[in-house]
Amino acid sequence: MSTLLPNGRVDNWIGGRRVAPQAGRYLPSIDPSLGTPWIEVPASDADDIAAAAEAAKAAFAGPWRALPAMGRAGLLRAAARKIAEHAEELATIECRDNGKPIAEARAGDLPSVSEMMNYWAGAADKIHGETIEVSRTSFNFTLHEPLGVVGIIVPWNSPLAILAAKVGAALAAGNSVVLKPAEQAAASILAIAPLFDAAGFPPGVVNVVCGTGEVAGDALVRHPDIRKIAFTGSTATARRITERSAPGLKPLAFELGGKSPNIVFADADLDKATIGASTAAIFTGGAGQTCVAGSRLLIQDTIYDQLIERIEKHVKQAVRLGNALDASTTMGPIAFAEQFEKVKRYIELGRKEGAEIVFGGRFGPENFASDSPLCGGYFVAPTLFRGARNDMRVCQVEIFGPVTCAIPFHDDDEALAIANATTYGLASGVWTKDLNRAHRFVRDIQAGAVWVNSYRRIHWAVPFGGYKDSGYGRDSGLESLRGYQQTKSAWLELG
């Protein structure tokens, strides 16, 4: 039995306590492995957002604002310990809510959440201004101060990890927070919220309000007391946030979608590239529901057929579809029904556009025996298209599922041209033994992250974010911390 979630229904966390949505409305959260409801979460509205903003504003003006940096650091370390104590429970909640395999959450997501909090604790008391020599008769220096109340919106694919990156930075910088999780997978965020208060944070510093983007999200971005919006999600939603927040002149930080090129040259270590182009890039874990998924697989023409054969063999051996809570599962379901239908539509579109399915293309009950309880789940088998062209819609639109398109190229110039021929620019991979080529592609690929001879490696100390339609601003690293602060200049005349 969960100690962080009550049976059947969970409320918002506002001002240090559970608060029911004022209109009394709730949404069912669906277990995507089974396709059945398992808990209800709030369908909050503008009144609930206003209550959370008021609590956050009061906390910021009161005990939280007065706490020195070392005090914030101590509380973040205490939060890291609390999260570690409840790691198994939080992992189970998140995996039941969004379908990520429990093995990945246990080994990767939850340990990283605790470590991120420790990282931000280490950063909290190292916020320094600088002195600037202007003249002999004045003393000039800068201060880095918190913004105030920050609004944070996290998606459904990795809620806890993204919470840790954004909320940790915002708290280290001295802000208070109103966080809105995606309504499709809000349970783990609602569950973790009380742990901050249990760690000693003043009530109102961390608030969580669940609701739809159209209602609760819109109210959050328009609220006058919210001084910044940090959002991870789709490019289309980011454009709406930009429009709706414009009257308040709020700073925005967006980590958005991607259609990332994963480029394999003939001189690459093909054993490593086979894994890096398939299970490491897109086919395990969250079923391709990651913004950095290597969904465009660029293969040099001389090894095109060979690498596809290697990938097919590896995926058949390495990928096991199953219930997210089964420790032997290596790829879980799509997180919710609407996303499941979207992935299906794009696989059918790829066929119509002329690409050939090498493996996959099976949906839902097609993946299991007829009497399996998983037949109602939102499962899509890992799917590889060959003979794809970069101008196909399946090669340009972020599908956000276990679907990749193998595109042949002849030489370096063609590979680079294809890689950059997209509106996105979040991540990329290059597989080669040629050091000169590696440096050229790091320099010339239009993406916020370039992995050479690896893929999908992210660390809380390394800035992460995109170019072009993949957003602006950075998560993780000290660069992210600056985004939650404002700079004040001081002039002291000396005589």
Please report where in the chains the tokens 């003249």 appear, as a residue: 135
Partnered with residue 280 across adjacent β-strands are none
Under a CB-based contact definition with an 8 Å cutoff, are residues 434 and 221 in contact? no
**Cβ atoms < 10 Å from Cβ of 487:** 11
HSE of 113 in the Cβ direction (CA atoms, 13 Å)?
A: 31
255 a catalytic residue = yes
d(CA 120, CA 112): 12
Helix (H) or strand (E) holding 37: strand 36-42
- Of 26, 101, 79, 67, nearest to 192 by C-alpha is 79
d(CA 29, CA 26): 9
> Angle at the Cα of 246 (from 240 to 247), degrees rounded to 5?
130
Q: What is the four-CA torsion angle of 331, 332, 337, 342, rounded to 10 degrees?
A: -10
Residues 6+ apart with CB under 8 A from 387: 354, 355, 356, 406
Active-site annotation holder among 89, 94, 104, 291: 291
d(CA 229, CA 160): 18
d(CA 388, CA 351): 10
Tokens describing residue 370 = 């007829």
Residue 263 DSSP label:
E
Active-site annotation holder among 54, 89, 183, 255: 255
Under a CB-based contact definition with an 8 Å cutoff, are residues 427 and 451 in contact? yes
Partnered with residue 116 across adjacent β-strands are none
d(CA 388, CA 452): 23
d(CA 56, CA 245): 19
d(CA 279, CA 302): 23
Residues catalogued as catalytic: 255, 291
